[in-house]
């Protein structure tokens, strides 16, 4: 889309203002307000014209060179900002702070006063048009001290503000959990994978300074009133607050008091685990294909965000989880109430975000930098209406003690009554676009409106009177933006009207002429004054309503949290009532018994009429480690992930896709499934796999849950088998956690005899007429083969290659999988010694002492070497007598 480019004022005073703004915000595009356009100059113009696909032009010169320029109409500002923010730009908005008449009244060529009133960055967005309703954009600030990192994160759109002090090694896990949109961090902190989200800003110099900044921002003498914060936490929190203040100018973002979330009550997952499980978005960064999309039956934006928060932050807190379960179980037991509540909650506005925007609103109707949004006031009114109706419905659950999620806090009914009486049914987004205040609410406003409307009716009467007086039947009175009210007549009547001295010809057109009249001039002034007084009165009323809302922000915030919780509760209840999902039994022991478990995302994606094959998983203490074998495409990875997702759902306090589930609470969840290379960091696929494996072995404990898929496949067979066995033994004997270990190394199945807690499971397949059918069932036992050649055939590998692979496979099987190489190009096999066998034979011979051996011992040793390195059994076995 090509936007029209406006004219630019390249005069020195205005451009001096631009240069000052650009100097202060050198890392941002400067949207410089000039009349009805936001102008961009120099490099900003070139970058914006490309990103927005708008015309690039030039106007005036600077140091002898044309000044590149492009413009965005004020009416299209939000759409342009949304595109720029998505592309990672920071945008500084320089507004006109006074009306043009005020600047002209100062005399001379004084420029309109302008200043940057808003710096838009990815983590500080509050504007409704730039936010995605169901997603959260967090700003994260980090500060390092010794081996600890202070972290503070906030959501500018809702006011959420939390802090933590963590060990440096735990930072990747925190980054994976928060997925911040913007990170304020010194360069020495490694943000591997998220370095593109780093913003360069200056940290507070000392912890004392940081505490003073926080105390001033929250209007307290000491932040210790909110809790005990470490020095690194205080520095990070002050860093975040100062950044918010810089981005929002004189406006104050309504932030909640900083608090620490549960530190010991969270289920910990590292970034690799979160990525492999597709919790809230898939590999392409989209919600489609994620766990969140599958379980989301919320009907409000706030409910969707809270549900995502639960999934991203599963708990290790049995009491809280039981409370969550109780809430949605009570709703599921009352299906009629559930349907009614869901219908009511559809009308729940995003109260938390409206409160923040109203808290930011300025009361200057001239500058109109941040005018009060009537629509936000209407959203508060609508949310209170929903809260009152929901509270009435919840009474149907009886008078017994209800969980916190089903208990509506005190609703400010007086405020609701005022908003309901004051606002029209559908208030406009901006004051002045349409009437916002209902007739009858304010007598003074009604009086000004009546005067304005009566003046307009006078116009119709004057038009008839002038037509008779001047003898021009088709005379019209029209309003012109520059001329005001004028008489418009056809060009044929110009000479007739020239005879009247009170008429003054103002404009001649090809087919008409426009005249002014003293009565019209006076009328125009009266109407303008009445309109201005009505607009000013309406603005005053809106500001008064805003004050009342902001004054009740604490109670409104509690209502907002409860409405979001109710939405999540009804969403969870919908899973139980509409699908075969169950209430998981959560315990404090090491239980893990899933009957009829299913992968929620895969099941939801199946076409109608096709059902998911459910499978049991028993990792009880006596067999806490499962070794899973089976061919490719049989469903091993699906089985692994479905059990991990069941843990996440259960410890998010949600239903799980199973016939029944008994789960001992997990403290850490690890998923090493489907590793890929990291070329930017110079890591091969195998190196990434080993790093993830090391993370598991170093951090997992007895209460952890681990899923591992095909470890060791990225290196040589012997190395891979050795690593896989060593990891399996560590999980069994050292870590002693619940784990599912999928592999194609069938040699590992012999470990079941040596590892008492290891159980063997395999994916069931059926062979029929030379083909195999994947039944996707998990059964006892071990796979006899991998069926890799068959999968290659299914993938479309040319038939000639498949036949050759089958021949080579049979050759390998005939050699009983010894060290003999596979025949090349049908040629006769050469030496059967492997590349490493020579040195191994030498080592074996060096270990022997011929002087201490009998002839019989020497012969036995030779047979043993032939058996070990050539796979040849002796013709006549030597007795061990």
Give the strands of the sheet with 268-269, arranged side by side. Answer: 268-269, 668-672, 705-709, 738-742, 625-629, 758-768, 771-780
Per-residue pLDDT tens digits for 378-399: 999 999 999 999 999 999 888 6
Residue found by looking up tokens 């808290």 in the block: 359
How many whole angstroms separate alpha carbon 165 and alpha carbon 230? Answer: 7
In this structure, of 118-122, 232-236, 862-866, the range with the lowest mean pLDDT score is: 862-866
What pLDDT, on the 0 to 100 scale, is given for residue 619? Answer: 96
User: Among candidates 215, 220, 253, 248, which has minimal Cα distance to 234?
Assistant: 215
Task: Report CA-CA distances (Å) from 238 to 90, 125, 220, 228, 722.
Answer: 21, 18, 14, 15, 50
874 — pLDDT class (breaks 50, 70, 90) = low
- As a 3-state breakdown, the chain gives helix, strand, coil percent values, each rounded to 5, of 45, 20, 35
Compute how many other C-beta atoms are within 10 angstroms of the C-beta atom of residue 609.
5
> How many residues make up the chain in this entry?
881
Q: Is pLDDT at 680 greater than 70 in this prediction?
A: no
Q: Is pLDDT at 364 greater than 60 in this prediction?
A: no
| 3-state secondary structure at position 742 | strand
How many whole angstroms separate alpha carbon 652 and alpha carbon 317? Answer: 10
Dihedral pair phi/psi, residue 347, rounded to 5°: -90, 5
DSSP state of 734: I
How many whole angstroms separate alpha carbon 26 and alpha carbon 42? Answer: 12
pLDDT average, residue stretch 681-689 = 73
665 — pLDDT class (breaks 50, 70, 90) = very high
Percent of the chain with pLDDT over 90: 48
Per-residue pLDDT tens digits for 5-25: 334 444 568 888 999 999 999
Q: Is pLDDT at 881 greater than 60 in this prediction?
A: no
Task: Report CA-CA distances (Å) from 114 to 92, 95, 461.
Answer: 12, 5, 44
Contacts 24+ apart (CB under 8 A), 852-858: none
In this structure, of 512-526, 635-649, 746-760, 802-816, the range with the lowest mean pLDDT score is: 802-816
Q: What pTM did the predictor assign?
A: 0.81
CB-count burial class (<10 Å; 0-12, 13-18, 19+) for 336: exposed
262 — pLDDT class (breaks 50, 70, 90) = low
Give the side-chain half-sphere CA count within 13 A for 581. 26
Mean pLDDT, the chain, rounded, equals 86
Residue 165 bridge partners (DSSP): 150
How many whole angstroms separate alpha carbon 39 and alpha carbon 32? Answer: 5
What pLDDT, on the 0 to 100 scale, is given for residue 824? Answer: 42
632 — pLDDT class (breaks 50, 70, 90) = confident
Dihedral pair phi/psi, residue 65, rounded to 5°: -115, 145
Whether the CA torsion 102, 108, 109, 113 is positive or negative: it is: negative
DSSP β-ladder status, 148-155 and 160-167: antiparallel
Q: Is pLDDT at 813 greater than 50 in this prediction?
A: yes
427 — pLDDT class (breaks 50, 70, 90) = very high
Residue 155 bridge partners (DSSP): 160
Higher pLDDT, 717 or 74: 74
User: Among candidates 459, 515, 510, which has minimal Cα distance to 487?
Assistant: 515
């Amino acid at each position: 889309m090509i936007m029209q480019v406006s004219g630019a004022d390249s005069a020195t005073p205005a451009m001096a203002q631009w240069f000052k703004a650009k100097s202060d915000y050198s890392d941002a595009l400067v949207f410089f307000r000039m009349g009805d356009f936001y102008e961009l100059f120099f490099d900003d113009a070139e970058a914006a014209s490309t990103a927005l696909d708008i015309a690039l032009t030039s106007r005036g010169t600077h140091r002898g060179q044309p000044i590149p320029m492009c413009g965005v109409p004020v009416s299209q500002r939000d759409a342009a900002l949304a595109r720029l923010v998505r592309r990672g730009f920071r945008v500084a908005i320089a507004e006109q702070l006074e009306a043009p008449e005020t600047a002209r009244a100062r005399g001379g060529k004084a420029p309109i006063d302008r200043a940057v009133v808003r710096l838009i960055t990815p983590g500080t967005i509050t504007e409704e048009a730039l936010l995605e309703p169901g997603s959260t954009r967090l700003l994260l600030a980090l500060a390092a001290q010794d081996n600890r990192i202070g972290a503070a994160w906030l959501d500018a759109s809702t006011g959420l503000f939390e802090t933590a002090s963590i060990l440096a090694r735990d930072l990747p896990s925190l980054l994976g959990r928060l997925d911040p949109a913007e990170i304020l961090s010194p360069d020495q902190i490694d943000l591997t994978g998220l370095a593109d989200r780093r913003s360069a800003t200056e940290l507070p110099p000392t912890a004392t300074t940081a505490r003073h900044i926080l105390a001033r921002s929250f209007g307290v003498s000491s932040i210790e009133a909110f809790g005990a914060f470490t020095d690194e936490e205080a520095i990070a929190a002050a860093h975040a607050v100062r950044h918010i203040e810089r981005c929002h100018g004189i406006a104050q973002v309504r932030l909640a008091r900083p608090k620490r979330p549960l530190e010991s009550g969270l289920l910990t997952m590292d970034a690799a685990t979160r990525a492999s499980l597709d919790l809230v978005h898939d590999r392409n960064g989209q919600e489609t294909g994620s766990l969140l999309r599958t379980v989301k039956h919320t009907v409000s934006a706030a409910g969707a965000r809270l549900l995502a928060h639960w999934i991203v932050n599963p708990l290790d807190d049995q009491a809280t989880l039981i409370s969550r379960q109780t809430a949605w179980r009570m709703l599921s037991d009352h299906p009629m109430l559930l349907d009614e509540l869901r219908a009511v909650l559809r009308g729940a506005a995003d109260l938390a975000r409206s409160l923040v925007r109203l808290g930011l609103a300025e009361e200057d109707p001239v500058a109109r930098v941040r005018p009060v949004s009537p629509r936000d006031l209407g959203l508060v009114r609508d949310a209170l209406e929903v809260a009152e109706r929901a509270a009435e419905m919840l009474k149907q659950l009886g008078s017994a003690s209800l969980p916190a999620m089903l208990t509506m806090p005190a609703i400010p009914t007086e405020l609701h009554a005022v908003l309901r009486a004051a606002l029209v049914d559908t208030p406009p987004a901006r004051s002045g676009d349409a009437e916002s205040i209902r007739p009858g609410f304010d007598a003074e406003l009604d009086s000004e409106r009546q005067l304005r409307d009566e003046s307009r009716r006078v116009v119709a009467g004057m038009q008839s009177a002038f037509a008779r007086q001047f003898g021009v039947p088709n005379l019209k009175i029209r309003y012109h933006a520059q001329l005001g009210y004028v008489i418009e007549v056809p060009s044929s009547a110009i000479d007739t009207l020239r005879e009247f001295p009170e008429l003054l010809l103002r404009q001649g057109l090809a087919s008409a002429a426009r005249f002014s009249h003293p009565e019209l001039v006076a009328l125009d002034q009266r109407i303008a004054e009445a309109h201005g007084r009505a607009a000013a009165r309406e603005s005053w009323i809106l500001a008064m309503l805003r004050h009342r809302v902001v004054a009740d922000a604490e109670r409104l915030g509690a209502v907002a949290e409860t409405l979001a919780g109710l939405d999540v509760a009804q969403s969870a209840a919908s899973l139980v009532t509409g699908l075969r999902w169950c209430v998981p039994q959560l315990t404090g022991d090491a239980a893990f018994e899933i009957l009829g478990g299913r992968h929620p995302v895969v099941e939801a994606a199946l076409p109608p009429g096709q059902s998911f094959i459910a499978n049991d998983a028993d990792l009880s203490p006596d067999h806490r480690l499962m070794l899973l074998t089976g061919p490719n495409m049989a469903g091993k990875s699906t089985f692994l992930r479905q059990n991990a997702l069941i843990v996440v759902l259960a410890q998010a306090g949600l239903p799980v896709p199973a016939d029944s589930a008994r789960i001992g609470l997990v403290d850490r969840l690890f998923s090493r499934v489907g590793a890929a290379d990291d070329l930017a960091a110079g890591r091969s696929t195998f190196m990434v796999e080993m790093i993830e494996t090391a993370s598991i072995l170093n951090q997992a404990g007895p209460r952890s849950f681990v899923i591992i898929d095909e470890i060791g496949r990225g290196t040589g067979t012997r190395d891979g088998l050795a690593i896989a066995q060593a990891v399996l033994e560590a999980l069994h004997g050292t870590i002693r956690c619940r784990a599912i270990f999928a592999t194609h190394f069938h040699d590992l199945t012999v470990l079941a005899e040596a590892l008492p807690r290891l159980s063997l499971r395999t994916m069931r397949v059926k062979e029929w007429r030379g083909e195999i059918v994947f039944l996707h069932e998990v059964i006892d036992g071990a796979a006899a083969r991998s069926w890799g050649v068959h999968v290659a055939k299914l993938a479309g590998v040319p038939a000639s290659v498949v036949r050759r692979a089958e021949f080579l496979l049979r050759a390998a099987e005939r050699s009983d999988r010894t060290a003999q190489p596979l025949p090349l190009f049908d040629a006769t096999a050469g030496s059967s010694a492997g590349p490493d066998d020579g040195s191994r034979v030498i080592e074996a011979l060096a270990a022997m002492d011929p002087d201490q051996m009998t002839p019989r011992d020497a012969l036995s040793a030779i047979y043993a070497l032939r058996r070990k390195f050539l796979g040849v059994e002796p013709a006549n076995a030597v007795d061990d007598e």
